[in-house]
Amino acid sequence: MTQPRAQKIPLQAGRTLRLVLGDQLSDDLSSLTDVDPATDLVLMAEVMAEASYVRHHKQKLVLISSAMRQFADRLRARGVPVRYVRLDDSANSHSLEGELRRALAEAGLFERAVVTEPGEWRLAEVFGALQETLDPPLEIRPDRRFIASHRTFAQWAEGKRELTMEFFYRQMRRQTDLLMQDGKPAGERWNFDAENRKRLPPGIARPQRLRFPPNDATRAVMAEVAERFPDNFGTLEGFDWPTNHAEADAALDHFIGQILPNFGDWQDAMAKADAYLWHGLISSAINIGLLDPLEVCRRGEAEWKAGRVPLNAAEGFIRQIIGWREYVRGIYWLKGPDYKHTNALAADRTLPWFYWSGETDMACVADVVSETREHAYAHHIQRLMVTGNLAMLLGVHPDQINDWYMVVFIDAFEWVELPNTHGMATFADGGIVGSKPYAASGAYIDKMSDYCKACRYDVKQKLGDDACPFNALYWDFLDRNAKRLRDNHRLAFPYKTLERMEPAQRAALRAKATETRERLGAVKLAP
């Protein structure tokens, strides 16, 4: 669709062009706080550069375009003029820079252009360069939707040998006063994680989740995505994510009222064909600006104060947001654009094809990939301990793992994806995010899920045709990386067990791991 050409508007004092990105759909966005509907223009653009810098899951493409279009309507309903460029606009330059320049050339004279800082280095570099070259100048404002500013995080990190999330989280608790009583943590403990590792009791009734059938805007985008991106990963049919503020609010109400009370207990549990369990399903809405993270936490705290949610659930939930979410964002910006190029464990293999196809006889992996294809979602422990753990044990190169995580999830944005994948899940950053690799054998998956019962492999066996692949790979991982990891005191116990094994058994595990890597399709990359 071609944008109607605006009349040249003469320069009015302060007239501002305001660029709003696809993950900035918040009413109180810093680039919109001083918008003057009488003079200003908001620019929103669907461009190929953003739709294709990774081959996003089809549902993520739908979510972002649909939510952008609905946010543009929301602004217009407030009287704010919006120039909205669709992907199929014949004059679309297909880059954000191109659309900024085109709007400046076509939509009248502006005294300044404004954008809220983007969420990743790739765009920060583009906008950083435009600050110098754009006429009128581009003003980049901080993203105040986060609780810790870049400066707060850098000051906290300054001079520390280890950047332990738990200590950062305590600072965030004090700063926000969430779950604090007379300057002390509620319940006299900062962290109730030890109570949040239960496995699901057999036969427990699972909650019904509130989902959102596609509305008109979403259906229109679904048709466009089906036509333009037929080969991207994932199905479209089951799309049921919240795509606007009203739906996101309803999702939050439902979660806080019905699900949060049990969030803590089974936070780490996994179940076949049910990735949702008692999780929030709100990361995509928070990440694109439909929900405010602090407000979400205050809602959780209010339920605890009202006695409707136990402390272990409220604390566990709030820690994910003001702790982990803020922490990974801090790490991403602190460590700079080179963070993703580290490869501390010298991993050098390809990602097996079944990460895309789901065609594997490992029941746990097949289930996580199939849920991810259908819903663009897997919960934290599935991402960490099934797909992340396996990729690390196989020795898959970090670039291939990071690419997969960016592609497959509805909530994937580099600032949050990368430290989780590169740091927490695969230890490719050498221990900045995690103090040890989250490596585990099949026993962990068996303890926390019902996968192994229905698997063709035997989770108890390490060797032989029926042995669970995770087992030999786990011991071989420790063996191969002994030089790098042996002195890590958190790994002292497994290393003692490894060292007590007979040399013949260690050799057999190494041989089994080599055979498993090749059989699963994790082959050495060409040097």
Ligand X SMILES: Cc1cc2nc3c(=O)[nH]c(=O)nc-3n(C[C@H](O)[C@H](O)[C@H](O)COP(=O)(O)OP(=O)(O)OC[C@H]3O[C@@H](n4cnc5c(N)ncnc54)[C@H](O)[C@@H]3O)c2cc1C
Binding site for ligand X (CB under 6 A): 279-283, 286-287, 317, 320-321, 324-325, 328, 379-380, 383-384, 388, 405, 409, 411-412, 416-417, 420-421, 424-425
**C-beta of residue 214 within 8 angstroms of C-beta of residue 65:** no
Nearest distance from C-beta of residue 45 to ligand X, angstroms: 23
What is the rounded distance in angstroms from the CA atom of residue 67 to the CA atom of residue 73?
Answer: 10
Q: Give the nearer residue to ligand X in terms of CB position, either 256 or 412.
A: 412
Pick out residues in 222-261 that bind ligand SF4 (CB under 6 A).
Answer: none
Nearest distance from C-beta of residue 11 to ligand X, angstroms: 41
Q: Which one among 46, 411, 446, 476 touches ligand SF4, defined by CB under 6 A?
A: 446
Counting contacts by CB under 6 A, is residue 468 touching ligand SF4? yes
DSSP strands (E only) in 169-280: 180-181, 184-185
Nearest distance from C-beta of residue 279 to ligand X, angstroms: 3
**C-beta of residue 267 within 8 angstroms of C-beta of residue 277:** no
Separation in Å, CA 285 to CA 116, 243, 247, 290: 18, 8, 9, 5
Other CB atoms closer than 10 Å to residue 409's CB: what's the count? 24
Total number of residues binding ligand SF4 (CB under 6 A)?
14
> Among ligand SF4, ligand X, none, what binds residue 97 when CB lies within 5 to 8 Å by partner kind?
none
> Among ligand X, ligand SF4, none, what binds residue 239 when CB lies within 5 to 8 Å by partner kind?
none
Nearest distance from C-beta of residue 272 to ligand SF4, angstroms: 9
Nearest distance from C-beta of residue 458 to ligand SF4, angstroms: 7
> Among ligand SF4, ligand X, none, what binds residue 405 when CB lies within 5 to 8 Å by partner kind?
ligand X
Counting contacts by CB under 6 A, is residue 457 touching ligand SF4? yes
> 416-421 long-range CB contacts below 8 Å, 24 or more apart?
416/287, 416/325, 416/328, 416/329, 416/332, 418/332, 418/339, 418/340, 419/327, 419/328, 419/331, 419/332, 419/339, 420/328, 420/383, 420/384, 421/388
Nearest distance from C-beta of residue 361 to ligand SF4, angstroms: 8
Nearest distance from C-beta of residue 372 to ligand SF4, angstroms: 16
What is the rounded distance in angstroms from the CA atom of residue 108 to the CA atom of residue 222?
Answer: 34
Nearest distance from C-beta of residue 475 to ligand X, angstroms: 23
HEC profile for 46-93?
Answer: CCHHHHHCCCCCHHHHHHHHHHHHHHHHHHHHCCCCEEEECCCCCCCC
Question: Coil, strand, or helix at residue 340?
Answer: helix
Separation in Å, CA 436 to CA 56, 275, 499: 30, 26, 19
Site string for ligand SF4, 359-388 (x = CB under 6 A): ---xxx------------------------
Separation in Å, CA 169 to CA 165, 224, 450: 6, 42, 32
Q: Give the nearer residue to ligand X in terms of CB position, either 76 or 299.
A: 299
> Among ligand SF4, ligand X, none, what binds residue 127 when CB lies within 5 to 8 Å by partner kind?
none
**C-beta of residue 168 within 8 angstroms of C-beta of residue 327:** yes
Q: Which one among 445, 472, 478, 513 touches ligand SF4, defined by CB under 6 A?
A: 445
Contacts of 330 (CB under 8 A, 6+ apart): 148, 150, 153, 154, 156, 157, 168
Radius of gyration of the chain (CA): 24
Q: Give the nearer residue to ligand SF4 in terms of CB position, either 404 or 457.
A: 457
Contacts of 77 (CB under 8 A, 6+ apart): none
Q: Give the nearer residue to ligand X in terms of CB position, either 54 or 412.
A: 412
Which of 484, 461, 473 is CA-nearest to residue 511? 473
Residue type, 30: S
> Among ligand X, ligand SF4, none, what binds residue 385 when CB lies within 5 to 8 Å by partner kind?
none
Contacts of 272 (CB under 8 A, 6+ apart): 363, 367, 449, 450, 451, 454
Which of 19, 21, 17, 18 is CA-nearest to residue 287? 21
> Among ligand SF4, ligand X, none, what binds residue 281 when CB lies within 5 to 8 Å by partner kind?
ligand X
Counting contacts by CB under 6 A, is residue 442 touching ligand SF4? yes
Q: Give the nearer residue to ligand SF4 in terms of CB position, either 331 or 455.
A: 455
> Among ligand X, ligand SF4, none, what binds residue 481 when CB lies within 5 to 8 Å by partner kind?
none
Counting contacts by CB under 6 A, is residue 470 touching ligand SF4? yes
Q: Give the nearer residue to ligand SF4 in terms of CB position, either 236 or 513.
A: 513
> Among ligand X, ligand SF4, none, what binds residue 457 when CB lies within 5 to 8 Å by partner kind?
ligand SF4
> Among ligand SF4, ligand X, none, what binds residue 362 when CB lies within 5 to 8 Å by partner kind?
ligand SF4
Nearest distance from C-beta of residue 351 to ligand SF4, angstroms: 17
Nearest distance from C-beta of residue 274 to ligand SF4, angstroms: 15
What is the secondary structure of 355-389 as a DSSP string? HHH---S-HHHHHHHHHHHHHS---HHIIIIIIIH
Q: Give the nearer residue to ligand X in terms of CB position, either 72 or 248.
A: 248
Counting contacts by CB under 6 A, is residue 451 touching ligand SF4? yes
List contacts with ligand SF4 (CB under 6 A).
Answer: 362-364, 442, 445-446, 451-452, 455, 457, 459, 468-470
